Structure formats: C-alpha cells, structure tokens
Amino acid sequence: MSDLLKIVDNAPGSCGPCQSASCGTCASPPVKRETPALLSRRELGRTVLGASAVALIAGCSQPKPAEQAVAPPPAAPALSPDLEVVKESKGPIMTTLEEFYKIGPGPSSSHTMGPMRITYDFFQRISKLPEDQLKRATALQVHLFGSLSATGKGHGTDRASLAGLLGKAPATCPPEFLDGLAANPDETHKVTLGPTTLDLTLKDVIFDATKGNFPHPNTMTPKLLAGSETLYELEYYSVGGGFIEWKGYKPPDKGQPKYAFQQARDLQKYLVDDKIPLPQLLLENEMAISGKSEKEIWEFLDQVAEVMVRGVDTGLNADSILPGPIKLHSKAAAMQRSLKTSAKGEAARAVTRVASYGFAMGEENARGHIIVTAPTAGSAGIIPAVVKSLRDLNTPQQKVRDGFLAAAAIGYLCKHNATLSGAEGGCQAEVGVGSSMGAAMIAQAMGAPPKVVSNAAESALEHHLGMTCDPVAGYVQIPCIERCAYGAVKAWTGYCIASAEVPDERRVDLDTTIAAMALTAKEMNSKYKETSEGGLAVSVVLC
Ligand code: SF4
C-alpha cells in the first residue's frame, strides 16, 4: 500500500485523470496536512453544548469534561512497513476463500475466534497422540498472556478457548453451547481423548501474565498435563482477523494464481482478453492457489452460506439485552414483528426486511455466537443479510456461490491495496468494504456484467469513505450493529444504481475509490481507528 499511497500523495499537485487542465478539479490548493489548531470559541461552545445535550438526553448529570473535547487530536501514525497489509501489497493477490471467510465465534476475531481456532487445533493435535501418553493425562489447561489475558474476560476469550478444548469446532458449535458456558461458569465438562476422559471447567482457562516479552500480544499456550508433568504444549498466537500461528509456524505452500491480478483493472483486462466470466476466473485462481478441487470450493462456500443464514435466523428469533455495559436491547426481532403488523408501504418493508437481517447477524456477533468474517467480525452482518435477501428471491444456489466469489474478489482488492482493519483505516475499511462486497455479490448473483459488478462495488464503497471507527465502551455494538444494517441496505442501493446506469458512463472506477480509501485511512486521525477515543465513543454517556 505504501507505493500506492505515494502515488496518491502526489495527486493534489498534478492534473487528474481527465488531463484537461481546465476542469477546475485539480486547480484547488493541496490539502494542508497539519495538526488541527485548538477549537474556536464557537466550536468550543458547540462541543460543550453538544456534550451537555447528550448528557441531558441520556439522563445523566455528569457531562464529559470540556477539556477532553478540546484537546488537540494526535496526528495519525504512518503505516509501518512491517504491517502485513503493507508487505502483502507486493505481488499478485494470493488470499484464499478459507483465509478470507473465517467461521467462528464473535465478537472479536482476535480475542474470541482466534483463541477458539487455537484450542480446537490443539484438541485435534493431542487427539492424535499415542495411546500410552493419553492414558497418563490428568488435566488440560490453557494459559492466556498479554492482551488476551488483559481484555479476554470482556471478549469471552475464556469460554471460546474452553469450547475449543472440549472439541467443539468453531464452524459448527451451537450458540446455546457457548451461552451455557457463560451462564454456568462453574459447570464441569467432560472431554474424551482416546482412552482418557478429563473434567474441564472455565477455571482451566488461566488468565496469566498481561505484561512480558511475548512474541505477539495475543499469545496463549494450551497444555496437556500428567500431574505436574507436561505431556504436550504448544505456544500459539492469535495474530488478528481470526488468523492463527504457532511457534515454528510456516505458512502453507500456495500455488501461483492462473490469472495474477492486483487491481480491478487487471481483472477487467482478463475478462475482456480471455473472454472468461468473472466467477470462472476467480474459481480457477482459487483452485490454482489453494490446490482445492471445484467440489471442495463449492462445499466450503455452501457451508459459509449455511452458517450465515442460520445466524440470521437465530438472531431474528432472539430478543434480549446484549452482553456488556451498554445494556443495548436487540432490535432484529422487533423489526421483523413490525413487518407483520404495520402498513409500511413497499419501500419501507423492503428496507426493514434487509436491515433486520443485518441487525440479526450483528447482534449474534455481539452475543458471541458463530459468525463469518466478511470481511471482519464487526461487519459480519452485511453479507449474511445479502445472502438471506437473495434467498428470499429464490436465487439459485450456484448464483449465490458466484456472488461469494465476486464479493471475495472485492475484499481481496481492498485488503491488498488498502486495509480491512478498523484499527488501520476506520469503519470504511470494515463496514465500507463489507457493503462493497455485498453490492458485488448481488450484482453477480443477478447475472450482471462484470462492469456492473465493479460499479456496484465502487458505488457502495464510495459512500462509506471517511467513516470512522468509534465503538462505544469498546464493545462491537454501537455503532457496529446498526452499521451492518445500513451496509446491507447500501449494498442493495449500490446494485440498484449500477444496474440502472450506463456502465461506461460511471466516472469513478473501483481502483480509484480503493485508492481514496487507502489515502483516507492514512490521513485519518488515530482517535477514529478503533481506539474508542473519539466520535461516538466519547460522546455517548453511559450511566
Ligand atoms: S465501528 Fe469499528 S469496531 Fe465497529 S464495525 Fe466499524 S470498524 Fe468495526
């Protein structure tokens, strides 16, 4: 991304893509990149009044101190060349579907999904140990370190870790099981390893040292014990986005893509030159890189679709206060009920239905139930809402699979040329990309030509540019859940616009908008990058 940002950085002083030098677009002075000055009195007054109004609305007598609102914001840090998103921006896109659509428990891909994938991996490893070793086993434990230990309780790291140790696969673990672990923390559970059955409780997940010289802030070590002797242990790292590594980890060997691409325009060239449909190109690349058969790829995408639709259905039938200090009441069920009872008119009914699906999966994520990263846990409600609404239209299964491929291609492009992380790029990188993927998915599933697929994705992404990440109290609830609903509705809007306009008349292309997102991410103040130091996170007063 750094090369791309250099190109974009130079843009203000040069003529734009129209090259007319007289359109006026490029004549404006370059944007000054200075730390903003202290707020003017009028701005200060507005800020204080705003904070007071929020406090009044919330029924609280202690508004946020004004000084907190007027402190000059820190400059956004430059992206480190050590970041994977920077390193991976070299060469062709090599991401695979299984790396991208990761299945596991919410609400955090690094603090819940990663740990459950880790302990399930450990369970599978120790299940294969020789019988004489397993016969001696007396206990199974996992030690959490660093950030996992410091913030794991709030994220449900302990129950996710225990579920994996008990042999529950992240993709298929029923939500009731995870709820049961949280509701009955003292309950004893049995796990069978060959000839041995062990008792486990949440106490076997040990919140260990929070500070230390760990290889990664999210380090954890599961152990199989025989009394005080360690029979088998392995140090793992939850490296973000649900990805896991372990001591001595070597990334899996990958094949070379048949159609190497880095940008949307590369894809477009293949589609024209080779006269190959977009889903076919993406399928052939996936087979070449992952080594999987076509059948295996469809089976995986079908499983992803089932997890998503099951999550939406579960969320639509759940009516509860979501976990955490916000005490946020879920809305999906109420929105569904409103469809039955009120005369909303065609437009309101359509929007309510799609939005309720987005709420349903976003709320499931907040409950710590099983979700699919698409592209992240916080934005996990958007693609399920699209899939569910495509099913409402009786869209054939193969069309939905093709839609998943197109959506993944958009996600890959954004990951490769910008970022998918709220901590790096704000919410435009999560919900914005999710909405863009959704628009591409709908267009592809509807059989639209590739240019329309690309335009739909561009349209949806364009109208999320600059969206900040400011989760209230650090919980993936406000604004995240409602944003998933908006993201799904905007995905449909992007498709509706792109399928109605003349495709070649669209003035902004997808690569340009992804570049704009990368630039916006770079210049965004760090307060708005998942730090809970700005925006809603400091404006909403919790009593
Ligand atoms: S506000 Fe932040 S945490 Fe919430 S969905 Fe957006 S990027 Fe993710």
Q: What is the pLDDT of residue 232?
A: 98
Nearest CA to ligand 1 atom 6: 427
Which amino acid is residue 235, in one-letter code? E
Question: And the tokens for 328?
Answer: 């946020």
Pocket flag, ligand 1, residue 422 (CB < 6 Å): yes
Pocket flag, ligand 1, residue 374 (CB < 6 Å): no
- Alpha-carbon gap, residue 156 to 163, rounded angstroms: 11
Alpha carbon distances (Å) from 427 to 376, 434, 535 = 11, 10, 12
Q: What is the pLDDT of residue 110?
A: 83
For residues 410 and 419, the answer to whether their CB atoms sit within 8 Å is no
Q: How far is the CA of 422 from the centre of ligand 1 (A)?
A: 6
According to DSSP, residue 14 is labeled: S
**Residue 467 CA: which ligand 1 atom is closest?**
6
End-to-end CA distance of the chain: 42
- Alpha-carbon gap, residue 85 to 415, rounded angstroms: 7
According to DSSP, residue 479 is labeled: T
Q: What is the pLDDT of residue 423?
A: 78
Q: Any bridge partners for residue 219, and if so which?
A: 237
- Alpha-carbon gap, residue 114 to 111, rounded angstroms: 6
Pocket flag, ligand 1, residue 381 (CB < 6 Å): no
Pocket test for ligand 1, best of 431, 475, 536 (most atoms within 8 A of CB): 431
According to DSSP, residue 504 is labeled: G
Q: Which residue has the tokens 């099913």?
A: 391
Nearest CA to ligand 1 atom 4: 480
Pocket flag, ligand 1, residue 431 (CB < 6 Å): yes
Pocket test for ligand 1, best of 328, 529, 530 (most atoms within 8 A of CB): 530
Q: What is the pLDDT of residue 89?
A: 59
For residues 249 and 399, the answer to whether their CB atoms sit within 8 Å is no
- Alpha-carbon gap, residue 385 to 395, rounded angstroms: 14
Pocket flag, ligand 1, residue 382 (CB < 6 Å): no
Q: How far is the CA of 56 from the centre of ligand 1 (A)?
A: 26
Nearest Cα neighbor of 421 from 407, 432, 409, 410 is: 432
- Alpha-carbon gap, residue 336 to 446, rounded angstroms: 25
Pocket flag, ligand 1, residue 480 (CB < 6 Å): yes
Alpha carbon distances (Å) from 251 to 86, 101, 245, 254 = 17, 18, 9, 9
Burial track 295-333 (b if 16+ CB lie within 10 A, e otherwise): eebbebbeebbebbbbbbbbbbebeeebbbebebebbbb
Per-residue pLDDT of the chain in tens (543 residues, 90 and over written 9): 444 333 333 333 333 333 333 333 333 333 333 333 333 333 333 333 344 333 333 444 333 433 333 343 344 444 445 444 445 556 899 999 999 999 999 998 888 999 999 999 999 999 999 999 999 999 999 999 998 998 788 788 999 999 999 999 988 888 889 889 988 999 999 999 999 999 999 999 999 999 888 888 889 999 999 999 999 999 999 887 788 889 988 888 999 999 999 999 999 999 999 999 999 999 999 999 999 999 999 999 999 999 999 999 999 999 999 998 999 999 999 999 999 887 889 999 999 999 999 999 999 999 999 999 999 999 999 999 999 999 999 999 999 999 999 999 999 999 999 988 887 899 999 999 999 999 999 999 999 999 999 999 999 999 999 999 988 988 899 999 999 999 999 999 999 999 999 999 999 999 999 999 999 999 999 888 877 788 998 898 887
Pocket flag, ligand 1, residue 476 (CB < 6 Å): yes
Q: Percentages helix, strand, coil for the chain, rounded to the nearest 5?
A: 55, 10, 35
According to DSSP, residue 242 is labeled: T
Pocket test for ligand 1, best of 430, 490, 528 (most atoms within 8 A of CB): 430
For residues 412 and 510, the answer to whether their CB atoms sit within 8 Å is no
**Residue 483 CA: which ligand 1 atom is closest?**
5
Nearest CA to ligand 1 atom 1: 469
Cβ neighbours around 129 below 10 Å, total: 15
Q: How far is the CA of 398 from the centre of ligand 1 (A)?
A: 31
According to DSSP, residue 509 is labeled: -
Q: How far is the CA of 518 from the centre of ligand 1 (A)?
A: 17
